[in-house]
Amino acid sequence: MDLSESARAVFAVLAAAGTATRPQLAAGAGLSKPTVSSAVAELEAAELAECSGTVSGATGRSAAVYGLGPAAGAVLAVDLGPAVTRVRGCALDGTLLAEGTGTRPDAAEVVRHVLKELPTGAPLRAVVVAVGDVITQDAEGAGARPATAKAGPLFDAMAVALPPGVPVHVENNVNCAALAELHEGAARGRDTFGYLRIGVGIGLGVVIGGQVLRGANGAAGEVARLPYPWDGDREPRREGLEEHIGARSLLRRAADAWRDADGPCPRTAERLFALAGEGHVTARTAVGRHAAEIGRLAAAAAAVLDPGLIVLGGAIGADPQLLPGVRAELARLSWPTEVVNSALGESGTVVGAARLAVARGIETVTGGVEAKPRPESGFQTVTGGVRVKH
């Protein structure tokens, strides 16, 4: 466990790539061929990496392909949702090793089940727990407990299933989902955007330069506290906006506008959107109005951050019927900003938590060594005709 600096850098690149040849590792880590060779030898000796075959390009000698070895280990991601608990175990290259879902009280059971399915012998390097609460500070260490008011007891009930001695990190679920959209969702290729989640509550995940913005109190993106209503003669209420834009409010306003001829009044947002999709006039009007309100919320975020892209998610926000209305209101009020729907839906939070857990897990191996890719070459882009042998 005494890796050289260059071996650590190579490991980071290898974990990010999943599998890579030595030339690719050299380009990714900004190291020369001889250095990579010795680093790879070091990693193989520690069983952190292993050769998984060879690839041949169009011409030239075939290159050995390396992947993570058994000692690389795994990480665990837990999404303690309001109703459902989702758990994922991943390798350090991000591949899914085991998965489980359960109702809220079963959290500990699901965690145990997923842990059992992970390869034995490989160390568990990190655990990330996503909760729907403001995270005061990153809680770390064995048995660390988040200082969260709402999610505290739930976290404790789940934590008993975790093996001792593993670093546990707690993160806001909206931030996790934002990270997921960044790396494998609608914001891929960006490095700055806002993830706006509209459901029963509302929240904004802010990603700037590839990093989640947490804020001084861990409350960045808690847009429930935007001043609303805001007008010359009215006093804003604390968390007035959440009440106004949350799912309940949408249903209540739809019910107020509902007429006898409209048929049975929808009792869930899902039903309301379905009716609107079928062309139901009153439902469409309610959805359109709500889209404008969400557009205003997006405009508030854009006025402060100018993120260039806003990804809409959450039980309500993810519905594509909102897009035109949101875009129109945002364009009317603010800067040119793309608006798209979440690409990951409900699983975004676990996926993001897993991303975070993988990053933390890699850090436990590399000790935070950064890789700086070589300026000129970059990864070799193979256009075609790559043959792989195992």
Partner DNA sequence: TGGACTTCGTTAGGAAGTTAACTAACGAAG
Partner DNA sequence: CTTCGTTAGTTAACTTCCTAACGAAGTCCA
Q: Which is nearer to its own copies, 42 or 222 (CB)?
A: 222
* Chain center to CA of 257: 37
Site for its own copies in 326-345 (CB under 8 A): 332-337
Q: Which is nearer to DNA, 137 or 377 (CB)?
A: 377
**Which is nearest to 105 in space by CA: 156, 47, 181?**
156
Q: Which is nearer to its own copies, 225 or 387 (CB)?
A: 225
* Residue 366 contacts DNA per CB under 7 A: no
* Residue 58 contacts its own copies per CB under 8 A: no
Binder of DNA out of 53, 57, 102, 345 (CB under 7 A): 57
* Residue 23 contacts DNA per CB under 7 A: yes
Residue 56 and residue 35 in contact, taking contact as beta carbons nearer than 8 Å: no
Distance CA 374, CA 237 (A): 53
* Residue 112 contacts DNA per CB under 7 A: no
Binder of its own copies out of 32, 217, 268, 377 (CB under 8 A): 217
Mention every residue, 6+ apart, whose C-beta is less than 8 A from residue 130. 77, 78, 79, 80, 170, 171, 172, 173, 176, 349, 350, 352, 353
Binder of DNA out of 13, 15, 31, 170 (CB under 7 A): 31
Residue 91 and residue 97 in contact, taking contact as beta carbons nearer than 8 Å: yes
CA 2, 7, 212, 199 torsion-angle sign: negative
Distance CA 143, CA 69 (A): 28
**Residue 162 interacting entry, from its own copies, DNA, none, C-beta within 5 to 8 Å by type:** none
Binder of DNA out of 188, 237, 252, 387 (CB under 7 A): 387
Distance CA 64, CA 319 (A): 46
Distance CA 344, CA 339 (A): 15
- Binding window for its own copies (CB under 8 A); candidates: 79-87, 263-271, 277-285, 304-312: 304-312
* Residue 210 contacts its own copies per CB under 8 A: no
Which residues of this protein are in contact with DNA, per CB under 7 A? Answer: 4-6, 21-23, 30-35, 37-38, 54, 56-64, 380, 385, 387
The residues of the shown chain that bind its own copies, judged by CB under 8 A, are 192, 204, 206, 208, 213-232, 234, 236, 238, 244, 296, 299-309, 332-337
